[in-house]
Every structure is written in structure tokens, then in C-alpha cells.
């Protein structure tokens, strides 16, 4: 069984001035929705997936800061894929699609 370091992830996000808004299974949603994090099979690594609607230059600075803060606590934040969020019919849930 893989132990997920959600407490450390929250610490990294808060240290970078960001907020963990929701965690579901292996995904961690961040308050601004420009990117989300995904735990990998290696408990100390997470993938950073960026929203297709996010501006790349703005995300680069935030991602760099997160990677540095993660490194400070022994985590690795690696670049992942892009994703798109769309509301499902009825608007009560979302659909997450990786590109």
C-alpha cells in the first residue's frame, strides 16, 4: 500500500501561498485551478498537470516555486500532462479529461 503525503503537500502549497481545495483518490485540486497534482506510485513524487486554459508563462513561475518548496521537504513535483475540466450534465459534477 502506498502512503500519500497529503499533509506535506498541503504544507508545500501553503508555503507557496496556495490552497488545497479538494483531494480525491490520487488527485489534489488547488484553489485557483490552473493546475492540479496527482500522486504517483512513488510516495514522494507528484505530477503537476496544467489546465489547458491556464497561461503558460503564469504557470511557469508558480510551478517553479512549488517544485522548490517540494524539494525543501523531500518531495518531487514533476511535470505531467494538460487537462480540461467540463461540467457534466446537471452541473453537479465535473468531467476531467487529460490531453
- The structure's pTM equals 0.91
C-alpha cell recorded at residue 64: 517553479
Q: In this structure, is residue 75 part of a structural domain?
A: yes
Q: How would you classify residue 20: left for phi > 0, otherwise alpha for psi between -120 and 50, otherwise beta?
A: beta
Q: In this structure, is residue 1 part of a structural domain?
A: no
Q: In this structure, is residue 93 part of a structural domain?
A: yes
Number of structural domains in the chain: 1
Q: Which residues pair with 77 in a beta bridge?
A: 46
Q: What is the pLDDT of residues 39-94, one digit of tens each?
A: 999 989 999 999 999 998 989 999 999 999 999 999 999 999 999 999 888 778 88
Amino acid at each position: 500500500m502506498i502512503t500519500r503525503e497529503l499533509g506535506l503537500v498541503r504544507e508545500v502549497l501553503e508555503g507557496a501561498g496556495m490552497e488545497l481545495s479538494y483531494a480525491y483518490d490520487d488527485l489534489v485540486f488547488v484553489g485557483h485551478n490552473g493546475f492540479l497534482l496527482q500522486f504517483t506510485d512513488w510516495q514522494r513524487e507528484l505530477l503537476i498537470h496544467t489546465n489547458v486554459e491556464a497561461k503558460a508563462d503564469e504557470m511557469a513561475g508558480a510551478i517553479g516555486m512549488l517544485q522548490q518548496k517540494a524539494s525543501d521537504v523531500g518531495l518531487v513535483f514533476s511535470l505531467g500532462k494538460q487537462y480540461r475540466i467540463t461540467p457534466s450534465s446537471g452541473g453537479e459534477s465535473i468531467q476531467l479529461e487529460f490531453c
